[in-house]
Amino acid sequence: MRKKLLLILLTGSIAGCTSDLTGLNDDIKNPAVVPPATLFTNASRELMDAHASPNVYVNVFRVITQYWQQTTYNEESQYKLEGNSLSGAWWRDHYHFVLQNLKGSKEMVRAADIDEKVRKNQIAIIDVLEVVSYYYLTTTFGNIPYSQALNGENPFPAYDDANTIYTDLLRRISEDVANLDATAAGFGSADLFYRGNVGRWKKFAASFQLKMAMLIADSDANKARLAAEAAITAGVFTSRADDCVLHYLSAPPYTNPLWNDLVEGGRVDFVASAPFVDSLKAYADPRLQRYFLETANGEYIGARPGTKPDFEQFSNITETLLEPTMPAYLLEYSEVKMLLAEAAQRGWNTGATAAEHYRDGIRASMESWDVTDAEITDYLANAKVVYNGTNWKKSIGMQKWFAFYNRGNDGWTDYRRLDFPVLELPVGAVSGIPMRYRYPVSEQNINRRNYESASQAVGGDKVETKLWWDKH
């Protein structure tokens, strides 16, 4: 009797709960429809993960620009960038993980039933991050898919001319600055950078427009000046409070990738690079002890690029960088001040002298690494540090190299643009110092015709090929 009763109850329960069986096919972990804010949030984190990662198969730029030297493997430090997934990961992360998410978010915002001012702000904010992503793609590769990119029905997109792309990106970000309305809402708590503060997004967009303008200052001075002065008029960063920063959390999976790979992963793959350490020493730069640890002998020692050094014999990365909550920066006030210094040096209207902007930039960078006021004052009085208007590219270039220690891609771009520091080839170098990435192997295999056309257009798919804006 008990068995019959149990069977009846179970049968009734199952029948009652499964009258519609179609829901059993729903994958609750991979929903078909998600809120646009979710895609925006995910794109933001993916962008910063790529730029913060120490994994050379994702982000090799700290090695290329000789901030770090590899210990376990040394091929990438010898500029052996062929035949692996280095360029493929940077390409994939920006196109697939960032731009595809942003595209989906923008389409959903356009279709959403929301206030028109909010819609306009959200579309502009998404567009700013799209511009940022394309900036990092084109400054890394040169010509890239743009007008035909992100179209699932076209697996073979043509490559657009990089200069043409850049002109359009400048147009877009200028329009975004104009469209952002601080009186209306943005993405609220889904905004990992500014927590819904649209006024701060407007400042970021203007500041990134300034950054983009300075990239082309040598190749198109008139266009650069117009874009830079328009950005300054719109309102760029005025303090470190404006920094575009993602604050990681203390528990996985939302920890800084540095901690993920080097602490949780137990990797001992990097030590300080000799050119960087030696330059910091030569300038008596107090950031040295904020960037690296002393060796057992109480010294700061970097390894020669291209070698395979013993991890214990050279200065290691400071614990500060290896905290799970170490923030990642997309743009900083210190960089904006250096951009303003360069613009002022070129005679453009910036509201202060080049030397004033330069000193403010150094101070802001040092403050972000907890350098004391007394140390900053002494440093600014150092004859090596004092601004040299005659050799301004060296003054600005060296200080940006020092400040970009944890932003390797930006350090690499300004090295190419300003020609400082003067880097020597690593031991066993297999190429010259990279001026660009080669296109991914996947593009060579799948999108062959367009790859070949783009390679010819940029002057050859080689790492030594200079990009169109790199004139000196």
- pLDDT, residue 18, reads 42
pLDDT surpasses 60 at 339: yes
Query: Nearest CA to 125 among 50, 49, 204, 183?
Result: 204
- Determine whether 290 is exposed, middle or buried from the number of CB atoms within 10 Å of its CB (0-12, 13-18, 19+): middle
Pairwise CA distance, residues 201 & 237, whole Å: 10
pLDDT surpasses 50 at 286: yes
- pLDDT, residue 23, reads 53
Query: Nearest CA to 406 among 258, 219, 283?
Result: 258
Q: What percent of the chain has pLDDT over 90?
A: 90
pLDDT bin (cut points 50, 70, 90) of residue 4 is very low
Q: What is the pLDDT of residues 435-465, one digit of tens each?
A: 999 999 999 999 999 999 999 999 999 999 9
For residue 159, give the DSSP letter. E
Please state the rounded mean pLDDT for residues 394-399. Answer: 98
Amino acid (one-letter) located at 264? E
Tokens of 129: 């991050």
- pLDDT, residue 107, reads 97
Amino acid (one-letter) located at 159? Y
With tokens 């940029």, the residue in question is: 458
Please state the rounded mean pLDDT for residues 259-273. Answer: 96
Please state the rounded mean pLDDT for residues 247-266. Answer: 96
Q: Where are the domains of the chain?
A: 35-68+81-236+244-267+435-459
Least confident piece of the model among 29-38, 179-188, 202-211, 294-303 = 29-38
Q: Write phi, then psi, for 282 (nearest 5 degrees).
A: -60, -30
Query: Nearest CA to 263 among 273, 250, 274, 276?
Result: 250
Q: What is the pLDDT of residues 354-364, one digit of tens each?
A: 999 999 999 99
At 145, which helix (H) or strand (E)?
A: strand 144-145
Q: Do 202 and 234 touch, CB atoms closer than 8 A? A: yes
- pLDDT, residue 34, reads 76
- pLDDT, residue 280, reads 98
- pLDDT, residue 7, reads 37
At 160, which helix (H) or strand (E)?
A: strand 159-160
Pairwise CA distance, residues 269 & 300, whole Å: 18
* Helix pair 221-234, 162-179: axis angle to 10 deg: 20
- pLDDT, residue 84, reads 57
Please state the rounded mean pLDDT for residues 256-274. Answer: 96
Pairwise CA distance, residues 292 & 274, whole Å: 12
Pairwise CA distance, residues 83 & 104, whole Å: 32
Please state the rounded mean pLDDT for residues 370-378. Answer: 98
Least confident piece of the model among 16-30, 148-162, 250-264, 304-318 = 16-30
Q: What is the pLDDT of residues 72-91, one digit of tens each?
A: 999 999 999 876 567 899 99
pLDDT surpasses 80 at 469: yes
- pLDDT, residue 33, reads 62
- pLDDT, residue 93, reads 97
Least confident piece of the model among 55-64, 78-87, 275-284 = 78-87
- pLDDT, residue 144, reads 98
Give how far Cα 125 sits from Cα of 112, 206, 469, Å: 16, 12, 27
Pairwise CA distance, residues 124 & 202, whole Å: 9
What single string gives the DSSP state of each residue in 301-343?
--BPTTS---GGGSPPBPGGGGSTT--EEEE-HHHHHHHHHHH
Side-chain-facing half-sphere of 164: CA atoms under 13 Å = 10
Mean pLDDT of the chain: 93
Fold of 35-68+81-236+244-267+435-459: 1.25.40
Predicted TM-score (pTM) of this structure = 0.93
- pLDDT, residue 398, reads 98
Compute the Cα dihedral for 343, 348, 352, 354 and give only its sign.
Answer: positive
- Determine whether 330 is exposed, middle or buried from the number of CB atoms within 10 Å of its CB (0-12, 13-18, 19+): buried
Pairwise CA distance, residues 170 & 164, whole Å: 10
A 10 A CB-CB count for 255 gives: 18
What is Dmax (Cα atoms) for the chain? 100
300: left (phi over 0), alpha (psi -120 to 50) or beta: beta
Please state the rounded mean pLDDT for residues 274-302. Answer: 98
- Determine whether 351 is exposed, middle or buried from the number of CB atoms within 10 Å of its CB (0-12, 13-18, 19+): exposed
